[in-house]
């Protein structure tokens, strides 16, 4: 596939890994990002892995004129992968308006320019958060979409609705929403990975920052859930596996293999792991000992969620198959590498 693909939020965590896989598959990528939560050096990482430096425009997707300018400059874009969004659940509760404004306006701008520039395909970065605490596990795409537990989750639900309605009214356009479970790990080169600004909110970056000595101990949020060891269970998916699913989705769109103009796929491993299992696997995989302490449940957390990813397995011809220990080792290698680099 040697098409031109626009990647919004392409210097971010999942965005950068996806740009690498798109380049590896032969695509020409155009990255836009406002660098509000990522570093320009990520482009060096992408070029050192792939041997290709993607085109880059510092653009906030909420700025319609700049987005238009970018599409004019890079004529012939055939598809968009849209990552650029705010993503912190807790912060969204404090700043709902900022979340609605940023996440909804950027998507609407993008759909407008797709129509204007006749860009036929969209892959949207969605989340399993749209399901809330599902009644039945594993979660299939047919599971009920419940009222979102946070403004962030609500933006993902609303964005999916905006896409569905827009696609229904636009015969020339198709879209795929990918609902991620818990993306973790880093590229095996340790050259790109997750770099949260400030205190990490997610489990794995908190673990690696604790192991390297930036944090005193990991806080385990609750051991009294209705799960075998009492800690929360999630479906942790390797970020490179996840990135590859985007390439499959782009291929499906551009090769006209979609069964519907708008499709939705869960992206997970199908297996849940508890917080204690993650700690144990991290220690075994890296040889590091992790300090942790028990804390009360984190408000808003659910007990257990993992994916039924069989639709994506079947329809996209994709599977998340990197073993968890390898994934956690990759997160650790990245942590060590980025701290070394930042010291210089
Ligand atoms: N956890 C801890 N200590 C921490 C951080 C997390 O014990 O310092 C626990 C949580 O309680 C939970 C598990 O680790 O049981 C995973 O927590 P994360 O914060 O890593 O992930 P979440 O499942 O809460 O949220 C993630 C993304 C969201 C997305 C959601 C969908 O951060 O953007 O998955 O389920 F919406």
Residue-level pLDDT at 343:
78
Pairing of the two strands 174-180 and 273-274:
unpaired
Which of the residue ranges 145-154, 178-187, 229-238 would you say has the lowest mean pLDDT? 145-154
Interval 324-333: pLDDT, tens:
999 999 999 9
Q: Residue 4: enclosing H or E segment and its boundaries?
A: strand 4-8
Instruction: Give the tokens for residue 178.
Output: 């990918």
Ligand 1: which residue has its CA nearest to atom 33?
Answer: 87
**Euclidean distance between CA atoms 140 and 312, whole angstroms:** 10
Beta strands in 9-46 (DSSP E): 28-33
Interval 107-142: pLDDT, tens:
999 999 999 999 999 999 999 999 987 889 999 999
Q: Which residues line ligand 1 (CB under 6 A)?
A: 87, 89, 127-129, 182, 201-203, 206, 218-221, 232, 234, 275, 298, 301, 305
Residue-level pLDDT at 167:
98
Ligand 1: which residue has its CA nearest to atom 5?
Answer: 203
Interval 134-174: pLDDT, tens:
889 999 999 988 888 899 999 999 999 999 999 999 999 99
Ligand 1: which residue has its CA nearest to atom 31?
Answer: 129
Distance 233 CA to ligand 1 centre (A): 9
Instruction: Give the tokens for residue 224.
Output: 């009294």
Interval 187-221: pLDDT, tens:
999 999 999 989 999 999 999 999 999 999 999 99
pLDDT reading at 295 higher than 90: yes
Catalytic residue among 99, 131, 152, 180: 152
Q: Is the overall model pTM greater than 0.95, yes or no?
A: yes
Q: What are the backbone dihedrals phi and psi of residue 234, each rounded to the nearest 5 degrees, phi first?
A: -135, 165
């Amino acid at each position: 596939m040697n098409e031109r693909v626009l990647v919004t939020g392409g210097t971010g965590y999942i965005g950068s890994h996806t740009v690498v896989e798109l380049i590896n598959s032969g695509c020409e990528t155009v990255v836009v990002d406002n660098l509000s939560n990522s570093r320009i050096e990520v482009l060096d990482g992408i070029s050192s892995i792939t041997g290709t430096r993607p085109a880059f425009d510092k653009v906030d997707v909420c700025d319609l004129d700049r987005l238009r300018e970018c599409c004019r400059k890079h004529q012939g874009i055939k598809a968009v992968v849209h990552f650029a969004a705010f993503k912190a659940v807790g912060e969204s509760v404090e700043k709902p308006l900022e979340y609605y404004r940023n996440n909804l306006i950027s998507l609407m701008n993008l759909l407008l320019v797709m129509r204007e520039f006749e860009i036929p395909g969209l892959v949207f970065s969605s989340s399993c958060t749209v399901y809330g605490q599902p009644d039945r596990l594993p979660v299939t795409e047919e599971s009920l979409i419940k009222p979102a537990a946070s403004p962030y989750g609500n933006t993902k639900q609303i964005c999916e609705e905006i896409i569905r309605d827009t696609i229904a009214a636009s015969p020339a356009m198709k879209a795929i929403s990918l609902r991620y479970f818990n993306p973790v790990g880093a590229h095996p080169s340790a050259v790109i990975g997750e770099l949260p600004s400030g205190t990490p909110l997610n489990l794995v970056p908190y673990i690696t920052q604790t192991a390297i000595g930036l944090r005193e101990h990991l806080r385990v949020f609750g051991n009294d859930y209705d799960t075998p060891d009492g800690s929360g269970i999630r479906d942790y998916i390797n970020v490179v596996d996840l990135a590859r699913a985007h390439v499959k989705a782009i291929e499906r769109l551009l090769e006209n293999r979609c069964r519907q103009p708008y499709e939705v796929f869960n992206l997970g491993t199908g297996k849940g792991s508890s917080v204690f299992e993650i700690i144990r696997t991290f220690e075994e995989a890296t040889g590091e000992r992790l300090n942790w302490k028990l804390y009360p449940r984190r408000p808003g957390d659910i007990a257990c969620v993992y994916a039924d990813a069989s639709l994506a397995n079947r329809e996209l011809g994709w599977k998340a198959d990197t073993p968890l220990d390898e994934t956690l080792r990759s997160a650790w290698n990245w942590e060590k590498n980025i701290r070394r680099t930042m010291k210089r």
